[in-house]
């Protein structure tokens, strides 16, 4: 069975990235528009083949997500055509390629859902049976749902028994042991649902799959210091619904009193007027709503036109977003307090924040999406072997960073004074406390940057506690160009001293491991988050840029200190700091010195020393800014 699955995965594959809107905008009429759409698709095919062969780029999550968005655009613009069917098929394959590299269950779920959507929407297309076969492989091997996989294979043998995938389906099916009929599978916390339901048994017609009822989901173990996970006897309360629209995108935040399981799905549906609309559902199990105010909101700008929440069942709260447009999206949960966060990218509306308290008004049930049939088309493209690609190394071998290539610059810097509030950080000599030193230096650094004409923002401006995971969110929401986190080092050996600057990646030295472990201690992340953390590191588009920034800041800071304050140069390093994960901009963490070393502690208590150190770091940031602007002026 494994050999059959491998052969299936090595079949037809053509993807790419293309600026679809730009291509169509340059074409004058309907015929030219159709030709432009075909051209955009062909360019996507060629570019994707190149991406598959480029090992250093194929590990980049952002490139695969960009592909996903572009194929989705072709599929949407193409309507009921064969080209739309192929684009949808390739969108599914894009997600499958990403999943093969990220190993994330959510990516496999996305691919399986899109394959099913293609087969259901275009049942007469020659590639419909291919889509079902690929979905069956993912369900069986990656999602461990053999009953659903078996149902898809039997559908191929019943509906497409004369097709070219029937023989492979028959062989793949022969390798299955007896499994119970496919039914609603338990969903893990945050598990995405397919756009349309999979057949529940050997079913002949797949053109009109039913919209799935929400599957029961079991919540994971409660995090330390948080209330126990929600149960029917002790449900969670949806206390607040907030929709934020910023230059970085749109964010939906669902605040709950307890951890609970949730699922989501996106469907193409119709309003009562007949106008098409995308609806995104989030179902929260074992949840009640607040009784203070209603949650229905309408929005004049941005991708979300309407938002409402209410009871889907007596135990389930459903939150529904009506979307005017949809690019890429990501959904996740956060702890202490428990929140479900949905990120929608591509929104260019003016910044605003809309909030509402959750209310118990029932949500209306929406009808399933209509069937869309496609005409028969030419035979599918020949198979192409899938190369054995590896994730990129820590240092990516690009000729220049993306920031340089696009001519971007630095205007806004988010400064993050580490620790704060209930988290004091390291305790140093002479009564120094790390959180206080960090805040004092952050203000000095901010003033120096402002004198150079840069905008400066702070994650905290007083002695308050902010979770590590929230700090880069703040930088993203404010569209900062750089993120600089300020810390002090500590060591049991009082002889340890010096300045060092870190960027995000896996640690390569034992000392970097020690520093990261200490700074990460305040995080609520646990061992089960490791896979997602490693994936974020492996697929980050900002590691190379952050490494360059760290080198310049470290070099200029040491150079500035040497005349009056000779300081040990501990160099730039890389380490997996939670506070840097998720930043949409180059991000560094600076260890100002060892608060446990007598000489370093004395200097860290001196404003005069702080001003010299800050000026050196400003010089490094300006050198980085100048380097970017050099490319912009070419």
**pLDDT tens per residue, range 387-417:** 333 333 333 334 344 444 444 578 899 999 9
Give the separation between CA 349 and CA 367, rounded to whole angstroms.
30
Query: How many of the other CB atoms lie within 10 Å of CB of 129?
Result: 25
Most confident stretch, 82-86, 174-178, 330-334: 82-86
Predicted pLDDT of residue 312: 73
Whether the per-residue pLDDT at 202 is higher than 50: the answer is: no
More confident residue, 224 or 571: 571
Predicted pLDDT of residue 100: 83
Q: Between the CA of residue 535 and those of 100, 190, 474, what are the distances in Å?
A: 12, 17, 22
Predicted pLDDT of residue 34: 66
Give the separation between CA 536 and CA 541, rounded to whole angstroms.
9
Whether the per-residue pLDDT at 189 is higher than 50: the answer is: no
Q: Between the CA of residue 624 and those of 33, 102, 108, 226, 445, what are the distances in Å?
A: 42, 31, 38, 42, 16
More confident residue, 44 or 2: 44
Q: 338 exposed, middle or buried (CB, 10 Å; 0-12, 13-18, 19+)?
A: buried
Q: Quick check: helix, strand or coil at residue 28?
A: coil
Predicted pLDDT of residue 497: 94
Whether the bond into 337 is cis, omega within 30 of 0:
yes
Most confident stretch, 53-57, 241-245, 312-316, 406-410: 241-245
The arithmetic mean of pLDDT across residues 206-219, rounded, is 31
Give the separation between CA 123 and CA 129, rounded to whole angstroms.
8
Predicted pLDDT of residue 55: 72
- Between the two ends of the chain, the Cα-to-Cα distance in Å is 55
Query: How many of the other CB atoms lie within 10 Å of CB of 156?
Result: 26
Alpha helical stretches, state H, 284-431 = 402-405
What are 582's two structure tokens?
């998720």
Domains of the chain plus CATH, in order, are 2-176 (1.25.40.10), 236-356 (2.60.40.3500), 402-632 (3.40.630.40)
Predicted TM-score (pTM) of the model is 0.43
Band (pLDDT 50/70/90 cuts) for residue 315 is: confident
Element (H, E) at 328: none
Sheet holding 482-489, edge to edge: 455-458, 412-417, 482-489, 587-594, 499-504, 569-575
Give the separation between CA 485 and CA 466, rounded to whole angstroms.
13
Predicted pLDDT of residue 509: 67
The arithmetic mean of pLDDT across residues 567-572, rounded, is 93
Element (H, E) at 300: none
Give the distance, in angstroms, between the CA of residue 126 and the centroid of all CA atoms in the same chain.
Answer: 33
What value does the CA radius of gyration of the chain take, rounded to a whole number of Å? 26
Query: What does the pLDDT look like over 112-131, one tens digit per residue?
Result: 999 998 998 888 888 999 99
User: Among residues of the chain, what percentage have pLDDT more than 90?
Assistant: 23
Predicted pLDDT of residue 350: 36
Give the separation between CA 385 and CA 427, rounded to whole angstroms.
57
Of 174, 166, 99, nearest to 139 (Cα)? 99
Contact 273, 262 (CB under 8 A): no
User: Among residues of the chain, what percentage have pLDDT more than 70?
Assistant: 67
Give the separation between CA 71 and CA 27, rounded to whole angstroms.
19
Predicted pLDDT of residue 128: 92
Predicted pLDDT of residue 554: 96
Band (pLDDT 50/70/90 cuts) for residue 290 is: confident
Whether the per-residue pLDDT at 199 is higher than 60: the answer is: no
More confident residue, 429 or 107: 429
The arithmetic mean of pLDDT across residues 225-241, rounded, is 79
Of 115, 109, 157, nearest to 11 (Cα)? 115
Q: Between the CA of residue 152 and those of 174, 371, 373, 595, what are the distances in Å?
A: 13, 19, 19, 62
Give the distance, in angstroms, between the CA of residue 245 and the centroid of all CA atoms in the same chain.
Answer: 17
The arithmetic mean of pLDDT across residues 238-242, rounded, is 86
Q: Between the CA of residue 328 and those of 64, 114, 190, 291, 311, what are the distances in Å?
A: 10, 14, 17, 33, 27
Predicted pLDDT of residue 510: 67
Element (H, E) at 20: helix 20-25
Contact 405, 581 (CB under 8 A): no
Give the distance, in angstroms, between the CA of residue 305 and the centroid of all CA atoms in the same chain.
Answer: 22
Of 486, 475, 436, 432, nearest to 602 (Cα)? 432
């Amino acid at each position: 069975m494994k050999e059959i699955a491998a052969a299936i995965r090595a079949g037809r594959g053509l993807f790419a990235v293309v600026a679809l809107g730009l291509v169509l905008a340059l074409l004058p009429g309907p015929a030219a528009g159709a030709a432009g759409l075909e051209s955009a698709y062909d360019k996507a095919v060629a570019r994707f083949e190149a991406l598959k062969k480029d090992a250093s780029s194929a590990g980049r999550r952002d490139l695969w997500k960009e592909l996903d968005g572009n194929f989705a655009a072709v599929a949407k613009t193409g309507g009921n055509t064969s080209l739309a069917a192929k684009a949808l098929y390739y969108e599914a394959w894009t997600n499958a390629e990403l999943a093969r590299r990220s190993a994330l269950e959510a990516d496999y779920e996305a691919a399986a859902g899109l394959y099913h959507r293609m087969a259901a929407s275009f049942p007469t297309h020659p590639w419909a049976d291919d889509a079902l076969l690929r979905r069956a492989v993912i369900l069986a091997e990656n999602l461990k749902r053999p009953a659903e996989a078996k149902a898809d294979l039997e559908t191929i043998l019943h509906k497409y028994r004369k097709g070219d995938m029937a023989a492979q389906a028959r062989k793949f099916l022969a390798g299955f042991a007896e499994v119970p009929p496919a039914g609603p599978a338990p969903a893990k916390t945050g598990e995405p649902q397919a756009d349309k339901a999979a057949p529940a048994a050997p079913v002949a017609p797949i053109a009109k799959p039913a919209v799935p009822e929400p599957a029961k989901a079991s919540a994971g173990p409660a995090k330390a210091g948080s209330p126990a996970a929600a149960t029917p006897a002790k449900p969670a309360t949806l206390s607040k619904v907030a929709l934020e629209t910023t230059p970085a995108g749109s964010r939906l935040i669902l605040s709950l009193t307890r951890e609970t399981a949730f699922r989501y799905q996106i469907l193409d549906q119709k309003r009562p007027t007949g106008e098409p609309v995308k609806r995104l559902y989030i179902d929260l199990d074992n949840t009640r709503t607040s009784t203070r105010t209603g949650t229905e909101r309408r929005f004049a700008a941005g991708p979300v036109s309407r938002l409402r929440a209410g009871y889907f069942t007596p135990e389930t709260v459903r939150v529904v977003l009506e979307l005017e447009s949809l690019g890429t999206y990501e959904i996740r949960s956060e702890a202490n307090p428990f929140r479900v966060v949905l990120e929608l990218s591509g929104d260019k509306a003016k910044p605003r924040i809309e909030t509402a308290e959750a209310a118990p008004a029932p949500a209306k049930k929406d009808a399933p999406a209509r069937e869309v049939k496609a005409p028969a088309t030419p035979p599918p493209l020949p198979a192409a072997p899938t190369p054995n690609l590896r994730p990129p190394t820590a240092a990516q071998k690009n000729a220049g960073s993306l920031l340089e290539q696009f001519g971007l610059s630095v205007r806004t810097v988010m400064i993050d004074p580490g620790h704060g509030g209930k988290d004091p950080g390291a305790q140093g000599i002479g009564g120094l406390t790390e959180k206080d030193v960090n805040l004092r230096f952050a203000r000095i650094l901010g003033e120096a940057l402002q004198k150079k004409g840069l905008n400066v923002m702070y994650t905290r401006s007083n002695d308050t506690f902010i979770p590590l995971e929230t700090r880069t969110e703040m930088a993203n929401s404010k569209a900062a160009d750089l993120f600089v986190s300020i810390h002090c080092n500590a060591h049991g050996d009082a002889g340890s001293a010096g300045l060092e600057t870190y960027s995000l990646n896996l640690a390569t030295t034992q000392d970097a491991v020690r520093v990261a472990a200490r700074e990460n201690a305040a995080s609520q992340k646990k061992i089960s988050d490791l896979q997602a953390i490693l994936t974020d590191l492996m697929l980050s588009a900002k590691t190379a840029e952050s490494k360059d920034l760290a080198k310049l800041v470290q070099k200029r800071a040491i150079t500035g200190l040497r005349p009056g304050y000779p300081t040990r140069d501990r160099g730039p390093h890389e380490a997996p700091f939670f506070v840097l994960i998720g930043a949409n901009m180059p991000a560094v963490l600076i260890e100002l010195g060892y608060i446990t070393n007598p000489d370093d502690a004395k200097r860290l208590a001196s404003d005069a020393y702080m001003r010299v150190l800050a000026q050196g770091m400003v010089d490094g940031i300006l050198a980085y800014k100048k380097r970017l602007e050099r490319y912009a002026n070419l």
